Structure 1
């Protein structure tokens, strides 16, 4: 019998953090008041109907390591950028402020995964490693559905030509031309192409750009030497 897979992505609204992290910052590594972050995380857990320890966080490092989790935990998983579980009622959380949150689920097999895919991690293959870990746990690529959450769009992600070429070589479909005619990256396009090449049956992409949408946190837009920005959270869980 298949399970129900739930996915959610937050915005900036509804939390206790003050500027420049206003208001629903869920990142605990950006200089915000730890009490405000804890309150925001507790509120998120409550709104999705789970105890706080059943929301599994990562201390992300822009790599391609994947951890499999099977129960509640009070501390974040260190040194990984993706999580996989077969346990219902555990929410896997990704925090981002321009990178791509990738939420995966095989409802028939009862396996979910969540990946933090920034430029470095996406090019290194973190999404492919996550799919591999899900398959090892019993998932079938054709039964996996994927959701790519809000992230910087190709129009707002200008990079040097050499960087664009390097990422394109590792993640075909990523290189774009910005409206001003300069090289750019659309990581979600590259990740979507990669997922389809792996046999993933359904890929949906949130159209929102973190840089262009003021209701979302964006490090590229707001994270300067003079200040910082908060982090969104994208979660996937099974009921």
Structure 2
């Protein structure tokens, strides 16, 4: 299999990292491309081969670890490979030889690094996890391992863009109940509906946690079918399954 080529963030230059789309890989049908979703209705052997290709493309020989994602604010610090995936939506490590990742299909993948401390993090920020503070928890876990918030750099990878993300009044009210200033992440759409800027909100939460150097790739998973999987697009088409893409980062050896 030809190794896939990831999207990268200049802020993370010097750190082994990558945001992968669907291009490359061996999956077919509605999962065509680099589907890495263990929970998808795809051939598991092909999914595992796709995951191996992705980690090899950025950190050859590293052990790839991903959590069992539950749309939470839970972050787990990893010191060694695990067999049973922890139920969490973010991982942190400082151990060379490990690579950590999160899978997404519209939610925002976030990769973080403090190169001076040798600590990296990967977070899956869907709206529930973002609102609950998954990025705050990731920054706190990195700091507990010797990172400093002001040294951390972060990148927000491909996710659903505001123009594609229509939500209802109840959704908006959850965010404004948490902070009235969150109204700035919404614009009006049709009656009783709004469009939500998930990427902008995640960048805001990172800044509020002290991470001021953040790159947002600005890539919309919903509209760019050739490059990305999208849960919402698959749902709108009533497709029986959907693929996932992966974001991976590894500590500097």
Q: Please, what TM-score do these two structures have when normalized by structure 1? A: 0.91
Pairwise CA distance, 1:35: 1.1
Q: Secondary structure of 1:38's match? A: helix
The structural deviation recorded for 1:225 is 4.1
Distance (Å, rounded) in 2 between the aligned partners of 1:46 and 1:205? 24
Counterpart for residue 69 of structure 1: 78
1:79 maps to what in 2? 87
Matches of 1:176 and 1:15, distance apart in 2? 36
Checking the alignment, whether the CA contact within 8 Å between 2:101 and 2:246 is kept in structure 1 is yes
Q: Distance in 1 between matches of 2:41 and 2:155?
A: 29
1:51 is displaced (CA, Å) by 2.8
Hey, what does 2:45 align to over in structure 1?
A: 35
Residue 235 (structure 1) aligns with:
248
User: Following superposition, which runs of at least 4 residues in structure 1 exceed 6 angstroms of deviation?
Assistant: none
Q: Which residue of 2 aligns with 1:122?
A: 130
Aligned match for 1:16, one of 4, 14, 26: 26
Q: Does 1:193 align with 2:183?
A: no
**Which structure 1 segments of 5+ residues have no match?**
none
Q: Is the 8 A contact 2:17 2:58 kept in 1?
A: no
Deviation of 1:88 after TM superposition, in Å, equals 2.2
Q: Which residue is 1:160 aligned to?
A: 168
1:50–1:89 Cα contact (<8 Å) kept: no
For the Cα contact (< 8 Å) 1:147–1:205, is it kept in 2?
yes
The equivalences for 1:34-183 within 5 A come to 34-51=44-61, 54-73=63-82, 75=83, 77-170=85-178, 172=182, 175-177=185-187, 182-183=193-194
Instruction: Name 1:217's counterpart in structure 2.
Output: 229
Would the alpha carbon gap of residues 204 and 76 (structure 1) be closer, same or farther in structure 2, given more than 3 Å must change?
farther
Superposed displacement of residue 58, structure 1: 1.2
